[in-house]
């Protein structure tokens, strides 16, 4: 028997992954069941809405990939490479020395573009499955040409040298 907090976290993860946990919830006492029902669901790591939460979604997608080996997390991370124009705007802003007054969706996409490219480049060099998936995406008719172009330049694009494009 697990402590209540650990059990609740495990059930939350299972529910978020789409597992039916009804029978387990039914076996809990009423107080623990009610506490569980009031827990917030986990964020969807595949949600690419350009908010501050998007930065942690990249880490969550890498965690999903690391634990499952599935293609979908890498495909989703690679889709952020379609935000090159936002990166170009972000890079101009950064080089100008101006400090933005707010975190705009364009800035979020520009920063996530660099983080996605940097992490894909790093994993491409160190993980054979990631390298295979990147090769697959570069050949796939289902991947936009703009993303394929960015995937081809992972090792050479200065934007991907370090997280943040520096």
Q: What is the pLDDT of residue 162?
A: 64
Model confidence at 166: pLDDT above 60? no
- The answer to whether 111 touches 55, Cβ cutoff 8 Å, is yes
Strands (E), the chain: none
pLDDT tens digits along 45-102 = 889 999 888 988 899 899 889 888 999 999 999 999 999 999 999 999 989 988 989 9
Place of tokens 């697990």: 2
pTM recorded for the entire structure:
0.78
pLDDT at 63: 87
CB 134 within 8 A of CB 119: no
Could you tell me which residue, 163 or 153, shows the higher pLDDT? 153
Examine the pLDDT at 138 and tell me if it is beyond 90.
yes
Q: Give the model's pLDDT for residue 149.
A: 97
HSE on the CB side for 147, CA within 13 Å?
22
Task: State the angle between helix axes of 105-126 and 71-79 in degrees (0 to 180), rounded to the nearest 10.
Answer: 130
Please name which of 64, 65, 58 lies closest in space to residue 130, comparing C-alpha atoms.
Answer: 65
The predicted model gives 136-149 an average pLDDT of: 97
CA distance to 3, 70, 92, 103, 117, per residue, from 99 (Å): 47, 39, 12, 10, 24
C-alpha 92/C-alpha 82 separation (Å) is 18
């Amino acid at each position: 028997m697990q402590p209540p907090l650990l059990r609740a976290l495990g059930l939350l993860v299972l529910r978020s992954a789409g597992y039916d946990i009804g029978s387990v919830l039914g076996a809990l006492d009423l107080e623990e069941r009610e506490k569980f029902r009031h827990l917030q669901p986990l964020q969807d790591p595949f949600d690419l809405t350009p908010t501050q939460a998007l930065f942690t979604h990249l880490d969550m997608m890498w965690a999903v990939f690391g634990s499952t080996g599935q293609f979908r997390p890498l495909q989703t991370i690679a889709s952020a490479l379609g935000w090159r124009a936002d990166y170009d705007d972000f890079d101009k802003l950064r080089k100008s020395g101006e400090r933005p007054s707010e975190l705009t969706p364009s800035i979020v996409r520009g920063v996530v573009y660099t983080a996605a490219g940097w992490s894909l480049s790093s994993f491409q060099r160190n993980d054979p499955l990631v390298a295979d998936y990147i090769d697959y995406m570069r050949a796939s008719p289902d991947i936009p040409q703009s993303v394929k172009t960015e995937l081809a330049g992972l090792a050479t694009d200065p934007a991907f040298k370090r997280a943040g494009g520096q």
